[in-house]
C-alpha cells in the first residue's frame, strides 16, 4: 500500500481547508460519513480525524461533531536551537572559549531564580560560543549544585552544558524569555563589540523532577544572530 488510507483521508480534509472550502469553525464530515464516502472502517476514518485534532487543525466535541479549528488557536512558534548544532549546520567552524568555571555564593536574584537559599553555594560558568573564531553568543549559566554536583569537572569543549545537564538530571520543563537589551561593558568585551549595539538575550530556566536545575543567560549581538520560526499548516 503506497499511501495509507488514513493518510488519504487526512489529505482530503486538509485540501478542503486550505482551498477555503471549509472555513474556520465549519463542521467536517463525521466518522460515519467518512466511513461510507471512503469505504473504510470507522476506526480508519477516526484515525484521520484524531491525528488532525492532535495537530491542532480540528477540534472535536462528543455528541456535536468535528470542526475546523480557528487559526487563532494555532500559536506561532519560534524554535530555540542548540547553538553548536546551528553553527555546524551552516558549515561554519564551531569553537568555544571557557572564561569562568567557579563556585560562588548566590546573591538574592540568582538564589531565587534557582530556588536555593540566599548565600548558599552555586556553580557558575561563562562560555563564549564562536563561529569561525568570532564570538557569536555568550552563555552565562548558574547551576544548582544539588542536582549536578560534578558540573565544574566537565570539559565543555566536547559537550555543551545543556547537553551535559539533560543527561545528568532528566529535564521535565523549560521556560524562556527573549528580550532586546543593551550589553554592559563586560559583555561587550566578551563579545568583541567595539561599537555598542543591541543584543538579543534569551533567559532559559530548566526544571527536573527534583527542582530547578539551572538558569542560563544567552546573549548574542543583534547584527549576527536572530531566532527563526516556522509554522506550516499541513502535517
Write the CB contacts of 224 (distance below 8 Å, at least 6 apart in sequence): 131, 134, 136
Residue 221: strand, helix, or coil: strand
159 binds its own copies (CB under 8 A): no
Binding mask 48-67 vs its own copies (x if CB under 8 A, - otherwise)? ---x--x-------------
CB of 190 to DNA, least distance (A): 45
CB of 66 to DNA, least distance (A): 4
| C-alpha atoms less than 13 angstroms from C-alpha of 83 in its C-beta half-sphere | 24
42 binds its own copies (CB under 8 A): no
* Contact present, 137 and 183 (Cβ < 8 Å): no
Tell me which stretch binds its own copies (CB under 8 A): 27-35, 133-141, 146-154, 198-206: 198-206
Binding mask 15-54 vs DNA (x if CB under 7 A, - otherwise)? ---------------xxxx-----xxxxxx-x--xx--x-
Rounded CA gap, 19 and 231, in Å?
18
**Which listed option, DNA, its own copies, none, makes contact with residue 185 (CB within 5 to 8 Å by class)?**
none
| Angle ∠(102,227,18) on CA atoms, nearest 5 | 145
Pairing mode of beta strands 211-221, 27-28: unpaired
CB of 2 to DNA, least distance (A): 9
Q: How far, CA to CA in Å, does 226 sit from each of 33, 77, 121, 130, 176? A: 47, 14, 34, 15, 15
CB of 85 to DNA, least distance (A): 24
For DNA, give the closer residue by CB, 46 or 129.
46
* Contact present, 66 and 52 (Cβ < 8 Å): no
229 binds its own copies (CB under 8 A): yes
For DNA, give the closer residue by CB, 8 or 97.
8
Rounded CA gap, 86 and 89, in Å?
5
Contacting DNA within 55-114 (CB under 7 A):
60-66
Contacting its own copies within 69-128 (CB under 8 A):
71-72, 75-82
* Contact present, 129 and 94 (Cβ < 8 Å): yes
181 binds its own copies (CB under 8 A): yes
Interface residues with DNA (CB under 7 A)?
1, 4-7, 30-33, 39-44, 46, 49-50, 53, 60-66
Amino acid at each position: 500500500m503506497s499511501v495509507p488510507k488514513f493518510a488519504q483521508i487526512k489529505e482530503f480534509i486538509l485540501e478542503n481547508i486550505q482551498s477555503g472550502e471549509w472555513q474556520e469553525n465549519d463542521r467536517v464530515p463525521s466518522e460515519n460519513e467518512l466511513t461510507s464516502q471512503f469505504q473504510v472502517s470507522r476506526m480508519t476514518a477516526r484515525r484521520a480525524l484524531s491525528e488532525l485534532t492532535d495537530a491542532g487543525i480540528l477540534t472535536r466535541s462528543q455528541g456535536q461533531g468535528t470542526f475546523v479549528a480557528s487559526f487563532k488557536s494555532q500559536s506561532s512558534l519560534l524554535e530555540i536551537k542548540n547553538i553548536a548544532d546551528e553553527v555546524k549546520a551552516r558549515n561554519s567552524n564551531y569553537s568555544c572559549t571557557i572564561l569562568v568555571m567557579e563556585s560562588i555564593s548566590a546573591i538574592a536574584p540568582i538564589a531565587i531564580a534557582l530556588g536555593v537559599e540566599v548565600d548558599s553555594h552555586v556553580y557558575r560558568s561563562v562560555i563564549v560560543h564562536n563561529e569561525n573564531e568570532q564570538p557569536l553568543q555568550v552563555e552565562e549559566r548558574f547551576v544548582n549544585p544539588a542536582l549536578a554536583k560534578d558540573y565544574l569537572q566537565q570539559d565543555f569543549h566536547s559537550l555543551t552544558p545543556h547537553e551535559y545537564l539533560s543527561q545528568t538530571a532528566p529535564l521535565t520543563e523549560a521556560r524562556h524569555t527573549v528580550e532586546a537589551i543593551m550589553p554592559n561593558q563586560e559583555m561587550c568585551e566578551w563579545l568583541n563589540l567595539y561599537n555598542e549595539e543591541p543584543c538579543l538575550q534569551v533567559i532559559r530556566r530548566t526544571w527536573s523532577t527534583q527542582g530547578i536545575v539551572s538558569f542560563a543567560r544567552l546573549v548574542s549581538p543583534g547584527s549576527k544572530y536572530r531566532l527563526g520560526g516556522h509554522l506550516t499548516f499541513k502535517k
